[in-house]
Amino acid sequence: MNKKIILLVDDDYDDLEFFKWAMAGTEETFSLKFVDSGDAALRLLSGLEQLPDLILLDAGMPKMNGWELLKQIKMDHRFTKVPIIMMATSSRRQGIEQAKLLGAKAYIIKPSDFQELKSIMNQLCIGIQTNLDNTIASLRCNLPENIYNFN
């Protein structure tokens, strides 16, 4: 059985460590791949034999920000079905709306609490295996200030 792939695109290495810790115990089923820039994400996506089951995309990166990368990914027909969740530390309405317009599945305000991040990641892992749309809707109900779903 192939592992499910989650691609994390984030220029903050501290965030990477938090995501790794949050996914501890899922290594048999999930592979967390990490790149620190939009350019690196495009190169990785082009070379993967198996597409990611989910892309977690940081909005605020230098050079190519998350919205620019989201737009490029969605323009490539190979990746149209790959669900993308934008993440940011900001809850600015403009950023949330832009993520929605560009085709993100959801927008998550990065939690500062590790247990909350662990819970979100555990739920997303379950959603990847069952029904991601329902999982995101459930997360939205439980964390309405932090999660915006666009389905």
Coil/strand/helix, residue 21: helix
Q: What pLDDT is attached to residue 90?
A: 83
pLDDT band at 143 (very low <50, low <70, confident <90, very high): confident
By the 10 Å C-beta count (0-12 exposed, 13-18 middle, 19+ buried), 84 is classed as buried
Q: Assign residue 51 the CATH number of its domain.
A: 3.40.50.2300
Residues 57-107 pLDDT 10s = 999 888 899 999 999 999 999 998 999 999 998 888 999 999 999 999 999
Residue 151, pLDDT above cutoff 80: no
**What value does the mean pLDDT take over residues 139-144?**
91
By the 10 Å C-beta count (0-12 exposed, 13-18 middle, 19+ buried), 144 is classed as exposed
Residue 1, pLDDT above cutoff 70: no
* Structural domains of the chain, count: 1
For residues 134 and 80, the model is more confident at 134
Q: What pLDDT is attached to residue 52?
A: 96
Strands (E) located in 36-116: 54-58, 84-88, 106-109
CA neighbor of 108 nearest in space, from 139, 71, 65, 129: 139
Residue whose structure tokens are 């792939």: 5
Residues 16-73 pLDDT 10s = 899 999 999 888 999 999 999 999 999 999 998 899 999 999 998 888 999 999 999 9
Q: Domain of residue 49: give its range.
A: 4-149
Residues 106-118 pLDDT 10s = 999 998 889 999 9
Predicted TM-score of the model (pTM):
0.94
